[in-house]
């Protein structure tokens, strides 16, 4: 995809048809993976590949059909256009509403049926798109049940609800004089290529869509802020606009850069009474139903201490959460942000059509294009109006001269129509200086169609006042054309003045970002891991056991057994460890340990220092060979290790001390340790014991 700036020509203004979608196939060919040529043996003419190894007819057919489908999906269904901010189905709906518009509400089913003249797809897709546009408030006003953006309730059937254009849409989205049309899909009707939209509609509405090979997520923005930014663009000042959502809530834009990147959104949660919280605004992308379901799942997982949820949502969001006894309200709010959809991220992928090609643009680039387009439309409307005023002045002046100078009297005795026309033309010769252009036979025809009653009641003063008003308006229009930027700014300011109260900002902004919720710290002691020594179980659901440790549901624990096996797992509800476990703590892959074990083959004792490192949860591992026995296991390195050997015939050394242990090289958890002794160990401790004999010879052990 190419990145566009705002300086390319605008196809809306062209009277000729735009290039076919299928002329853009090179755009998609470049993104396709290269095809390797293969030739089927025992075939002189492979239908897929020709003898030279190139593409065969079927391969070419599939390529071309796929490209046609991709081009159609991108340009005619899923991706909105920068020029009017609409997808094709939305544009056809708006065009149909304008054609049927008489200021009164129209049944939605009628609009859906009328739109099907232009739209090649079914009525369900049209009805859904119309409801969606209505709920975005700007373009369509609904009457009846159009669903609820807060609760997620669906709209009633299209035969039961009515709609009409809003004043904003009626005034800012249509003008037949500057609209180009093409034939509809069946050739029976004409539909607009683009609507002559004077608003930054793409950023106002936002959009989501999935096409072949690309998708788009364009976040909605505040209408008034967009208009203010357009004024700054005309004045060549830097601009910054941020998303705004109908559901309100809070927004962190620290990772959002001019329409690209991601934002974090939060629900607005406030304390109520002593043990209640109230959700008054939803995070974007959530409804009350989806959020309540998400909170209930968190309750089941014991993530948040809520015992009851009451939904009082009607015109405004109101979800009441009753907390369990003794739960801090502030802590509960942090838990909601940490473990539920009360806080989540939205990634913006601003892909759109510009000049009928998919492009990725920043918000500023889109605004610049919309602002330039607005100035072009206003200029064209002024030029058209100037031309209309010129025609009006000509017609009024002709009529004034024709009646005031009694030229109509010259035709009373003329017999033929040619003589009548010549008489009128000759009568104007003395007054040509008052006219701006020559008189045509069409002008004469208009004058001859003036009724006698109108001539008899002609008001000279009123006629002169009308001409003066035409001249005054003409001067104003010319001045506006000369000062087009000032005129555009005035135009935008009038819109701001008219609609600022109707469209306030709903989502509050956190420029510096949300305060990070320290989830592990928040949940460090949420679970109590108990042990049932009698039956050999550990877990968080064991009743009447002895507490081993406090932990978080986010933690992993590690259990080590006396035979050298170990396992890493989430805190279990109930897990059988038997009675030969020797260590159970929160897993830390970087923590160092010291272990002394007796290997099974010769009974030799080995020592090693290690860290567990990475591990897959619930998988069985070993830190010593199979059938070994762990004699010593502890965190870090002890200063000394004292050994007392089992008595044996002709044994001269009965005890040994090994130090410094911290100089033993750190190894991987599965590596073989360093041999300490071949003797059978009777006792092993890390503190000097009472049985230690300071005078015994050969007590200094060597670690090699």
The residues that are catalytic are: 160
Task: Find the length of the chain.
Answer: 704
In angstroms, how far is the first alpha carbon of the chain from the final one?
64
Chain CA centroid to CA 531, Å: 47
Burial class (CB in 10 A: 0-12, 13-18, 19+), 374: buried
Helix (H) or strand (E) segment spanning residue 499: helix 484-499
Omega before 660 within 30 of 0, i.e. cis: yes
In terms of C-beta density within 10 A (0-12 exposed, 13-18 middle, 19 or more buried), how is residue 601 classed? exposed
- Burial class for 704, CB neighbours closer than 10 Å (0-12, 13-18, 19+): exposed
Q: Which long-range contacts (CB under 8 A, 24 or more apart) does 233-241 make?
A: 233/367, 233/368, 233/371, 234/371, 234/375, 234/485, 234/488, 234/489, 235/489, 239/364, 239/367, 241/203, 241/363, 241/367
Tell me phi and psi for residue 215, to 5 degrees: -140, 165
Burial 524-542 (b: 16+ CB within 10 A, else e): eebbebbbbeeeebbbbeb
Beta strands per DSSP E along 211-318: 215-218, 250-252, 256-257, 260-266, 268-272, 276-281, 306-311
Residue with tokens 């040619």: 418
Among residues 584, 588, 568, 571, which one has the least CA distance to residue 527?
Answer: 571
Contacts of 212 (CB under 8 A, 6+ apart): 69, 70, 73, 74
């Amino acid at each position: 995809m190419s990145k566009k700036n705002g300086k390319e020509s605008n196809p809306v203004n062209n009277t000729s048809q735009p290039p076919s979608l299928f002329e853009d196939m090179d755009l998609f060919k470049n993104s396709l993976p290269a095809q390797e040529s293969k030739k089927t043996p025992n075939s002189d003419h492979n239908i897929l590949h020709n003898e030279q190894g190139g593409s065969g007819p079927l391969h070419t057919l599939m390529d071309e059909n796929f490209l046609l489908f991709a081009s159609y999906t991108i340009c005619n269904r899923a991706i909105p256009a920068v020029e009017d901010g609409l997808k094709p189905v939305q544009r056809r709906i708006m065009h149909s509403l304008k054609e049927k518009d008489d200021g009164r509400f129209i049944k939605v089913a009628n609009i859906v049926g009328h739109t099907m003249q232009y739209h090649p797809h079914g009525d369900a897709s049209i009805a859904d798109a119309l409801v969606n546009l209505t709920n975005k408030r700007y373009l369509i006003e609904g009457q009846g049940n159009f669903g609820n953006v807060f609760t997620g309730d669906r709209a009633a059937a299209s035969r039961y609800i009515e709609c009409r254009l809003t004043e904003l849409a009626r005034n800012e989205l249509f003008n037949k004089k500057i609209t180009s049309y093409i034939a509809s899909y069946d050739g029976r009707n004409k539909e607009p290529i683009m609507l002559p939209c004077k608003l930054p509609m793409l950023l106002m509405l936002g959009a989501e869509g999935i096409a072949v090979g690309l998708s788009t997520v364009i976040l909605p923005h505040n209408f008034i802020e967009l208009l203010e930014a357009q004024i700054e663009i005309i004045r060549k000042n830097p601009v910054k606009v941020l998303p705004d959502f109908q559901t309100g809530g809070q927004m962190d834009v620290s990772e959002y850069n001019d329409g690209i990147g991601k934002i974090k959104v939060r629900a607005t949660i406030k304390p109520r009474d002593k043990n209640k919280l109230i959700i008054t605004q939803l995070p974007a992308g959530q409804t009350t139903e989806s959020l309540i379901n998400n909170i209930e799942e968190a309750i089941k997982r014991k993530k948040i201490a809520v015992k009851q949820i009451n939904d009082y949502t009607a015109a405004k969001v109101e979800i009441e959460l009753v907390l369990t006894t003794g739960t801090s309200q502030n802590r509960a709010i942090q838990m909601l942000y940490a473990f539920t959809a009360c806080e989540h991220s939205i990634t913006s992928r601003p892909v759109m059509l510009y000049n009928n090609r998919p492009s990725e643009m920043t918000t500023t680039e889109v605004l610049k294009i919309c602002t330039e387009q607005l100035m072009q439309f206003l200029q064209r409307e002024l030029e058209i109006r100037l031309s209309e005023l010129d025609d009006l002045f000509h017609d009024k002046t002709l009529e004034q001269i024709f009646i005031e100078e009694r030229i109509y009297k010259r035709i009373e005795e003329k017999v033929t129509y040619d003589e009548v026309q010549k008489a009128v033309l000759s009568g104007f010769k003395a007054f040509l200086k008052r006219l701006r252009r020559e008189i045509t036979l069409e002008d004469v025809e208009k004058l001859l169609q003036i009724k006698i009653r109108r001539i008899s009641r002609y008001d000279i003063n009123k006629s002169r006042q009308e001409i003066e008003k035409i001249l005054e308006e003409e001067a104003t229009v010319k001045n506006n054309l000369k000062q087009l930027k000032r005129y555009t700014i005035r135009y935008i300011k009038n819109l701001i003045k008219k609609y600022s109260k109707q469209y306030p900002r709903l989502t509050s902004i956190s420029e510096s970002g949300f305060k990070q919720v320290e989830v592990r710290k928040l949940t460090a002691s949420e679970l109590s891991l108990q042990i049932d020594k009698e039956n050999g179980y550990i877990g968080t659901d064991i009743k009447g056991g002895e507490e081993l440790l406090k932990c978080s549901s986010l933690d992993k624990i590690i259990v080590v057994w006396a035979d050298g096996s170990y396992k890493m797992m989430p805190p279990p509800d109930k897990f059988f460890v038997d009675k030969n476990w020797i260590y159970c703590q929160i897993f830390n892959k970087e923590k160092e340990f010291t272990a002394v074990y007796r290997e099974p083959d010769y009974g030799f004792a080995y020592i090693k220092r290690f860290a567990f490192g990475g591990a897959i949860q619930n998988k069985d591992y070993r830190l010593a060979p199979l059938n070994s026995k762990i004699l010593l296991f502890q965190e870090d390195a002890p200063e000394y290790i004292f050994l007392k050997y089992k008595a044996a015939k002709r044994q001269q050394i009965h005890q040994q001390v090994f130090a410094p242990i911290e100089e033993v090289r750190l190894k991987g958890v599965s590596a073989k340790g360093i041999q300490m002794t071949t003797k059978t160990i009777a006792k092993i401790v890390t503190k000097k014991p009472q049985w230690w004999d300071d005078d015994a010879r050969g007590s200094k052990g060597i670690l090699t």
